[in-house]
Structure 1
Amino acid sequence: MNDVEDGTAHYSIAFPRRWWYPACPSRRLGHRPVCVTLMNTPLALFRDAAGAARAVIDRCPHRNVPLSRGRVTDDGCIECAYHGWRFDGTGRCNGVPGLSEGSGASSSTRDLPSHHTREQDGFVWIWGEQGSVPDREPLAIPTPEGSGANSGEVVFEYDLACTLHAALENALDVPHTAYLHRGIFRGGEAREITAERRDLQDAIEVEYRGEPVGLGRIRGRQNSGLVFEHWDRFFMPSTAQVEYRVPGWFHIINTILHLPLSEFSTRAWFKVRYSSRVPAALLRPIVWARGLQILRQDARMLAMQTDTIRRFGGERYTSTELDVIGNAVWRMLRQAERAEAVTPEGSRARAEETPDPGAAQRVRFRI
């Protein structure tokens, strides 16, 4: 199911496939296979004899038992638990127990579709399109300035009951933080800030200027000179990034990796890296507690949003110039998906242009 429209109903669902998607943390893929669902397709992940991550369709072609319930052999093949059929990391069938000698195990009906994989920044990544050769590498996750005892990392994992687009927009939406997260993150006296949007290659960046440094309701004076340096970024196809910095004092980069499981289910990893004048051992419990509280609030709101949209038969959004990034994210996802599609005439399809009230390069608002 992709973009669903019946004249009035609309669902912001797009699955671009010629991109890298996070599959699971590297530490989770050990000696046993793991099942991961990517855009409605169950995949079996396993490590070959060299320890490299591999991904094949999680369905034995013989009697359709999930291969992830099998085992990995000493020579690095995944073996079906039902009849022992074995497959290498490319999906080639390497063995059928009981087959007469001289009969090759591999054939077009016995081999499996496979996906290219990479390991980077502690994650296994999957190329979204079966069989095709990647033309880029996964996005590198940055590290804040500073190191040693004053730097650290916290990773949250959460399954969100929403579309990929809704999860991305939520992660990068500033106005909701003063209401949904009031007292934890903003919520004090409203201050005027400026948002400046830049369209980059396969990405969008919004820089926020003029926000006084603070924590929750406690904020500095408007003209104190001590302000956050704040950037929000979207990277195709499924990464959001939030960066805050107070030079010489504090630097945090929250990189949020999204795995679209299905139309209305998205898994997210929040990889929060930080450095501060405060020792990491003291800062980590604060980052963990506040991050988990914010995440739970967002997850509940996204589930309510999804439930309402589906009960009413589709999205009927009204946007303003304060929605500086959500509509642009949707446009990029939709254009990427449509660029991969081929029309009956054999040409590439073009994505429609939709109005975007947040398209102005600079927006002022109070928060």
Structure 2
Amino acid sequence: MIYLDYQATTPLAPEAFTAMEPWLKSGFANPHSAHAAGRAAAAAVEVARDQVAALLPPGGRVIFTSGATEAINLAILGCGLSVSAAATEHAAVLDCVQYLGGDVLPVGTDGLVDHVKTHAALQAIMLVNNEIGTIQPIADLAAAAHAQNKLFLCDAVQAFGRMPIPDGPDMIAVSAHKIHGPKGIGALWVRDGVSLAPHMLGGGQEQGMRSGTLSTALCAGFGAAAKLAAERMEADAAHVAMLWNRARAAFADWTINGATTERYKGNLNIRRDGIDAGRLISECRNIAFSAGSACASGSGRPSHVLRAIGLTDAQAKSSIRLGFGRYTTVEEIDIAAKAINQAAEAML
């Protein structure tokens, strides 16, 4: 199987597995317990917290959650403020905005937010789009929000560990499994001085913001993946840029969806009129790629992101997303491109 769905999830790094293993075996104690074994687990959690924080701006705290979706919910619902978000945001953001009756902001054909016009007290805009890879000017957008005495939330899930996270946001949501860490854990970075109300009640174990027993193993895996990402960031970026150039050349007959310059190069979202993306995925059984967000998979609806940048339903349904990264090889890109192009040609 050739895996080209890095926006959905990434392979677990061996270093992350190694970091988790002892806490799944002998180090099973509750990190909130006062005995020696519990204190050892708690110390491991704090090491992981520091490793995650090292990839985020200074002057804030890291709150561990079950994933980025919970982090986003904690940020938006915990603020208790009116909220606005770009039309291309992840469903975790847009569903919260809809629930609160907030504003949805339009984007251009490249997926970029040009002018933010909203009365909402909290603005939510992601750094790297999960479907089309567009990179938003987060530092500028956050500064504009602050000039209006507004708070700014950034979903940095697709950027965390892959590029430096700009200073400016008041809250940042991240996830472990998008940086070769384990599923089931994420975090919300909260700038010092920003107040939140918990929306998950119980023992208040995680800084009073998130009740429930932390998994030492998941925290350790997240921390190890973050540490590795920090060490490999430049090398990973160079490798991804090389794969992007190779893939673009191999799909020269396809049209790129979204920006081509302000874009994370590990994401290639492309379309070709006359093909059916669902059928193409079925035809290429030995290649893992997608027609958009894994969260919307199987809904039968065209991607809300592709519709937001002006594509018709037919164009959206003829689009595929290829995601690649650290462990993808040039040979895999070449083999996959040949198989996908042949299957596409057979449909035309």
TM band (smaller chain) = 0.3 to 0.5
Q: What TM-score results when the alignment is normalised by the length of structure 2?
A: 0.34
TM-score (norm 1): 0.32
Name whichever structure is richer in helix by fraction: 2
Higher strand share: 1
Q: Give the number of the structure with larger relative contact order, counting CA–CA contacts within 8 Å between residues 6 or more apart.
A: 2
